[in-house]
């Protein structure tokens, strides 16, 4: 049974991605900071017949990320895909953002994927696995009041391109997905849209692209930043 480790898997895109992998017959490790969300996702996935394990994980902390990878290997003996999904956003002019908000976005959105990729690569090399990171359309085009968020998501796209070149001979494939505005709590709070508002992308749509890239059903060159609309 193949194994995916999904960060920020308690809700939104991460939860939908875990469910999509489970439908493909994969085991899923739910690397989630919020214990209540992680345990609920684990319970509901198992109730649906999936093989799932919650591991409390702070993606901004190197020791926590390494522990999540070790827990995955201890439980399942392999890792076939890392999904870097965990993300946060604070909206407002750069000069008005607190240093705490700035540091948190950098830590979760950019340091997190770097740490997770670094920790997972040895196991992924053994399986010619995949890394799929959730970037954004704001990782390709800047927007006022989203300066730090854009910087982190541009960074995820750059990470993807550079890491794909670095591991090109290993068999590991590296992708980013770049959705527009997704119907998630993060988007509802960031831009003030109501759940289910017209024009929002469903988390399941993003999840399907992630899984299709991971299993090779969707063809893209390693290093690609794939738009999701």
Catalytic residue positions, numbered: 149
Beta-bridge partners for 99: none
Angstrom distance (rounded) from CA 19 to CA 6: 10
Write the DSSP string, the chain. Answer: --EEEEETTTSHHHHHHHHHHHHTT-EEEEEES-HHHHHHHHHHHHHTT--EEEEE--TT-HHHHHHHHHHHHHHHS---EEEE-------S-GGGS-HHHHHHHIIIIIIHHHHHHHHHHHHHHHHT-EEEEE--GGGTS--TT-HHHHHHHHHHHHHHHHHHHHTTTTT-EEEEEEESSBSSHHHHHHH-PPTT-TTPBPHHHHHHHHHHHHHTSS---TT-EEEE-
């Amino acid at each position: 049974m193949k194994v995916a480790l999904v960060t920020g898997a308690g809700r939104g895109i991460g939860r939908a991605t875990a469910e999509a992998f489970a439908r493909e017959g994969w085991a899923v490790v739910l690397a989630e900071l919020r214990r209540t969300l992680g345990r609920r996702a684990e319970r509901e996935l198992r109730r649906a017949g999936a093989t799932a394990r919650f591991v409390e994980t702070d993606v901004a902390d190197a020791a926590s990320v390494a522990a999540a990878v070790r827990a995955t290997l201890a439980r399942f003996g392999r890792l076939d895909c890392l999904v870097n999904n965990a993300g946060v956003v604070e909206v407002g002019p750069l000069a008005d953002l607190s240093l705490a908000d700035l540091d948190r976005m950098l830590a979760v959105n950019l340091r997190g994927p770097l740490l997770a990729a670094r920790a997972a690569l040895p196991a992924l090399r053994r399986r010619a696995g995949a890394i799929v990171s959730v970037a954004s359309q704001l990782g390709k085009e800047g927007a006022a009041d989203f300066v730090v968020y854009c910087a982190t998501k541009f960074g995820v796209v750059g990470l993807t391109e550079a890491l794909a070149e670095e591991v090109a001979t290993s068999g590991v494939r590296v992708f980013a997905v770049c959705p527009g505005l997704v119907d998630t709590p993060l988007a509802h709070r960031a831009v003030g849209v109501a759940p289910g508002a017209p024009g929002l992308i469903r988390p399941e749509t993003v999840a399907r692209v992630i899984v299709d890239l991971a299993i090779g059903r969707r063809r893209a060159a390693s290093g690609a930043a794939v738009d999701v609309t």
